[in-house]
Amino acid sequence: QPQLQESGPGLAKPSETLSLICTVSGDSVSSNSYYWGWIRQPPGKGLEWIGSMYYSGTTYYNPSLRSRVTISVDTSKNQISLKLSSVTAADTAVYYCARHVGYSDSGSYYWGWFDPWGQGTLVTVSS
């Protein structure tokens, strides 16, 4: 199983941009078998998918966050990055990166579950 490790500032100020990096080891972000995703979890609450990206640049974003989210990949560093702009206290959460696993059905390929996950990193939005 690959290992994923999130990193970045643990504190962001309201209205600024939150930036995180996920470093992947034991697999390649250029693999044509996987997307790479970000999921977040506010303290004491449930999980929310943020977005997923294929190494070629194809991305899917949660419609509720689309206007503020950018996910990109750096194949030379085997990293995926997340940028979330105009943050508020509601964006305070543990942010996870995860490998987004594909599956085939009726001759087409789709993107399904997340496995494995990084350990997560807490980002607090506060002035």
Partner 1 sequence: DIQMTQSPSTLSASVGDRVTITCRASQSISSWLAWYQQKPGKAPKLMIYKASSLESGVPSRFSGSGSGTEFTLTISSLQPDDFATYYCQQYNDYWTFGQGTKVEIK
DSSP SS3 for 118: coil
Does 54 participate in binding partner 1 (rule CB under 8 A)? no
Beta-carbon-side half-sphere exposure of residue 120 (alpha carbons within 13 Å): 13
User: Sign of the CA dihedral 24, 52, 46, 9?
Assistant: positive
**Which ranges of the chain does DSSP label H, i.e. alpha helix?**
none
Angle at 99 between CA 76 and CA 4, to 5 degrees: 65
How many of the chain's residues bind partner 1 (CB under 8 A)? 24
Does 118 participate in binding partner 1 (rule CB under 8 A)? yes
Does 119 participate in binding partner 1 (rule CB under 8 A)? yes
Residue count (the chain):
127
Task: Work out how close the CB of 16 gets to partner 1 at its nearest, in angstroms, rounded to a whole number.
Answer: 26
Nearer to partner 1, 104 or 126 (CB): 104
Nearer to partner 1, 57 or 63 (CB): 63
DSSP SS3 for 75: coil
Query: According to CB under 8 A, which residues from 2 to 31 bind partner 1?
Result: none
End-to-end CA separation in angstroms for the chain: 39
Does 115 participate in binding partner 1 (rule CB under 8 A)? yes
Does 66 participate in binding partner 1 (rule CB under 8 A)? no
| From candidates 36, 52, 84, 92, binder to partner 1 by CB under 8 A | 52
Query: Would you tell me which residues interact with partner 1 (CB under 8 A)?
Result: 37, 46-49, 52, 60, 62-63, 96, 98, 101, 103, 110-120
